[in-house]
């Protein structure tokens, strides 16, 4: 054989080959309590992410082995992580635009609302129109803005027009200037779905319900395209702060969808969105063809698609615009407000439903009253029978009231129940409950009943048509049926409470199921999209009344961090160290070392061009040196050397079962004094114990620059001068 001299080792030129483990992670979350969404394992400690996918889950020690020097590491410090929130019914553009207007969501009484409006008017003197949203019906006596409220609004806004949406989006409150610009007077009548609210003298109070609000809204200057795009950017940041990574946009136009596509093309879209186009009496054949075109073009897109249609079949209970099986409990003695017509004629609804079902669309139907819910179920059943279709996963939205007789029909027909826990907030339910009446209260927001009947229950916010879009507030209400202050004692209709596990499932897995994406998102498991959130508290172990105090600490979308609460979550890189093992004919050593736990990369150098290289090519890599990069938390330098000495044996086989082809003489290259002391001590211990029959043939000496043919090694020596080498041999055997 050719004996490998020290000089040969020192003068060898090297070509870099990086050998890594089969899975290498870009990001690792570890030391956490991670809810997978599966029954087993229900919880794991760590997640490895490569690109935009989860590649592996498991224990911290095992997952950290997948790190390399470029891997980002996040220590969860025991925090809870889950799949990202899917808000399954949202009006994202409207909500985003509203972020720049008057915020009345926090106003708990009429005076607080006036103060918020007045402060906004003073802050923005340049605005010609004052817009906003979020007022609640219980701010006003009788549940609607009154003549007295109009006087106060006129006082603080003076000659600037004001248009303020109710929190549910079904009513507006305006000042006298806005009504004057719209030509509204005592004589104005509205024929259609909704009404102009007037006082006992017939004068408009500034309140408009449902479609009657269009008389005002049509004269409000629309935002520009750039203003809409900027609003969407704000909205996505807001959504990320709430842990929302997916949405189902529950109304929209092709024009709005194209805004999302614009942001997607610019790399700015940080949500997965499934859009439901709005359809109704004015929908034309041209509209239908346009909807079909967009559906077919986007149906398999991983981020942005539109394959659903949204119908508005009724209004809301507070304004008595949702048809009920029995009259409203607070109907007037003259028969006023006793019930309501449907927002869309049933024959038109059925005709369009049949058409869209046949074309392969999923259908959302807004149905709040129990009578409307029944009609929607009937219509779905008829469409499926007419078209011979199934598996469309049609949905009914809101379902605030439902007859017990209709609940089993959801699962029988494969219809999803899409509901908003925030709409059942006991702190805002007074006007609603008065209209429903005591007799029907047990049939309100029946989440537990839906689950008992095997119904796919999906949760959302309905933002901006809600008092609070935060999913954590929704989780609190779903589990407790109480305000954060604990009212009412024992909960509001407590028999309809559900567990935190069930609630989280409705905010994650069921949302994925709703958009036909349950095989790629909604859980924490390998192969799924890396849309993940971290909570400040463990929702599974804290007292249920503490849920509302929880915050989102971190949000990942598509494998990237899009929200980090005040940068509290620290992101680090893996700690790595290097060791260099030099020697002759390392055909299989590199491969064996490469697969050691904790080894992140190996760089080998070739001699090449000799007889041995040709003879033993089948044995593996023919090399005269290996640079090993490793994680010192998993693999110590001493353990690496112990393994190196152990396999430095003529009987050692490579992973394919062939001889590894070692030279009898090798060397260790010490990069610093600490490595020198560790290696020399280990060799002396092994010599003394008889475990290492070899001997040191060259004393420890300063290292030269024999790695200068390999740039990585040359750069390392420049930064870390003064290494050492030690040469040893096995005189008891020759190759």
Q: What span, in angstroms and rounded, lies between the C-alpha atoms of 323 and 460? A: 23
Q: Output DSSP code: residue 276.
A: E
Cβ distance 382 to 355 under 8 Å? no
Strands 194-198 and 204-210: antiparallel
Q: Any catalytic annotation for residue 585? A: yes
* Residue 593 falls in which region: left (phi positive, over 0), alpha (psi -120 to 50) or beta: alpha
Token readout for 84 is 């990202």
Q: What span, in angstroms and rounded, lies between the C-alpha atoms of 100 and 121? A: 13
Cβ distance 298 to 304 under 8 Å? yes
Cβ distance 86 to 245 under 8 Å? yes
Q: Identify the active-site residue in 312, 585, 603, 682.
A: 585
The reported pLDDT for the residue numbered 669 is 61
Q: Cβ contacts of residue 650 below 8 Å, gap of 6+? A: 659, 662, 733, 735
The reported pLDDT for the residue numbered 374 is 98
The reported pLDDT for the residue numbered 12 is 34
Tell how many helices (H) and how many strands (E) occur in the chain. Answer: 23, 31
| N-to-C CA span, the chain | 7
> What φ, ψ does residue 644 adopt, rounded to 5°?
-60, -45
Supply the pTM of this predicted model: 0.79
> What φ, ψ does residue 98 adopt, rounded to 5°?
-70, -20
The reported pLDDT for the residue numbered 648 is 65
Cβ distance 509 to 518 under 8 Å? yes
What angle, 0 to 180 degrees and rounded to 10, lies between the N-to-C axes of helices 285-298 and 346-358? 40
Burial class, 186, CB count within 10 angstroms (exposed 0-12 / middle 13-18 / buried 19+): exposed
Cβ distance 384 to 354 under 8 Å? no
Q: Give the residue ranges of the chain where pLDDT is below 50.
A: 1-21, 584-585, 606-623, 663-664, 697-717, 719-725, 730-735
> What φ, ψ does residue 452 adopt, rounded to 5°?
-65, -25
Token readout for 24 is 């290498």
């Amino acid at each position: 054989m050719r004996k490998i001299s020290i000089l040969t080792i020192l003068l060898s030129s090297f070509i870099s080959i990086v050998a890594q483990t089969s899975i290498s992670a870009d990001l690792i979350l570890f030391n956490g309590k991670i809810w997978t969404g599966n029954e087993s394992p229900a919880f794991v400690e760590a997640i490895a992410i490569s690109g935009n996918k989860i590649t592996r889950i498991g224990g911290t020690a095992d997952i950290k082995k997948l790190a390399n020097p470029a891997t980002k590491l996040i220590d969860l410090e025991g925090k809870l992580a889950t799949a990202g929130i899917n808000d399954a019914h949202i009006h994202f553009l409207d909500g985003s635009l509203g972020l720049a207007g008057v915020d009345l969501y926090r106003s708990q009484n009429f005076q607080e609302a006036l103060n918020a409006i007045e402060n906004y008017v003073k802050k923005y003197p340049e605005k010609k129109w004052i817009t906003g949203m979020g007022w609640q019906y219980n701010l006003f006596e009788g549940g609607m803005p009154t003549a007295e409220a109009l006087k106060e609004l006129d006082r603080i806004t003076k000659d600037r027009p004001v248009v303020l949406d109710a929190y549910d989006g079904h009513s507006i409150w305006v000042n006298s200037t806005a009504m004057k610009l719209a030509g509204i007077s005592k004589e104005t009548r509205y024929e259609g779905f909704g009404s102009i609210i007037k006082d006992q003298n017939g004068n408009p109070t500034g309140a408009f319900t449902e479609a009657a609000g269009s008389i005002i809204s049509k004269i409000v200057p629309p935002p520009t395209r750039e203003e809409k795009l900027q609003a969407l950017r704000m909205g996505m940041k807001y959504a990320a702060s709430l842990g929302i990574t997916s949405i189902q946009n529950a109304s929209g136009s092709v024009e709005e969808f194209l805004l999302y596509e614009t942001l997607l093309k610019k790399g700015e879209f940080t949500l997965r969105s499934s859009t439901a186009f709005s359809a109704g009496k004015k929908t034309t054949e041209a509209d239908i063809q346009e909807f079909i075109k967009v559906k077919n073009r986007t149906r398999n897109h991983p981020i942005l698609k539109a394959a659903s249609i949204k119908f508005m079949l009724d209004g809301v209970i507070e304004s008595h615009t949702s048809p009920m099986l029995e009259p409203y409990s607070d109907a007037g003695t003259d028969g006023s407000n006793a019930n309501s017509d449907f927002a869309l004629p049933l024959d038109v609804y059925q005709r369009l439903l049949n058409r869209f079902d046949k074309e392969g669309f999923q259908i959302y139907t807004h149905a709040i009253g129990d009578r409307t819910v029944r009609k929607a179920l009937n219509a779905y059943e008829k469409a499926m029978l007419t078209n011979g279709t199934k598996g469309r996963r049609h949905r009914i939205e809101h379902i605030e009231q439902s007859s017990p007789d209709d609940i089993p029909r959801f699962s029988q027909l494969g219809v999803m129940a899409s509901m908003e826990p925030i709409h059942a907030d006991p702190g805002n339910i007074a006007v609603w409950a008065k209209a429903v009446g005591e007799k029907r209260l047990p049939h309100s927001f029946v989440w537990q009943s839906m689950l008992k009947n095997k119904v796919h229950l999906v949760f959302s916010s309905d933002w901006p048509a809600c008092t609070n879009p935060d999913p954590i507030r929704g989780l609190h209400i779903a589990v407790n049926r109480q305000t954060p202050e604990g009212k009412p004692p024992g909960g509001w209709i407590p028999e309809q409470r559900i567990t935190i596990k069930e609630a989280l499932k409705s905010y994650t897995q069921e949302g994925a199921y709703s958009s036909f994406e349950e095989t790629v998102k909604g859980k924490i498991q390998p192969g799924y999209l890396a849309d993940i959130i971290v909570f400040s508290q463990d929702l599974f172990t804290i007292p249920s009344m503490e849920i509302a105090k929880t915050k989102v600490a971190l949000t990942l979308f598509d494998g990237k961090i899009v929200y980090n609460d005040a940068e509290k979550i620290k992101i680090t890189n893996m700690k790595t160290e290097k060791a260099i093992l030099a020697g002759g004919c390392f055909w299989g050593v590199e491969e064996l070392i490469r697969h050691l736990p904790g080894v992140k990369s190996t760089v080998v150098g070739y001699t090449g061009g000799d007889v041995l290289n040709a003879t033993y090519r089948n044995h593996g890599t023919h090399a005269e040196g290996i640079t090993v990069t490793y994680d010192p938390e998993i693999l110590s330098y001493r353990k690496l050397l112990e393994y190196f000495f152990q396999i430095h044996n003529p009987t050692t086989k490579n992973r394919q079962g062939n001889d590894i082809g070692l030279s009898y003489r090798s060397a260790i290259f010490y990069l610093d004094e600490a490595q020198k002391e560790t290696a020399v001590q280990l060799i002396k211990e092994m010599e003394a114990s008889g475990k290492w029959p070899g001997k040191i043939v060259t004393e420890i000496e300063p290292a030269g620059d024999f790695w200068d043919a390999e740039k990585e090694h040359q750069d390392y020596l420049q930064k870390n001068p003064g290494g050492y080498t030690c040469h040893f041999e096995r005189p008891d055997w020759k190759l």
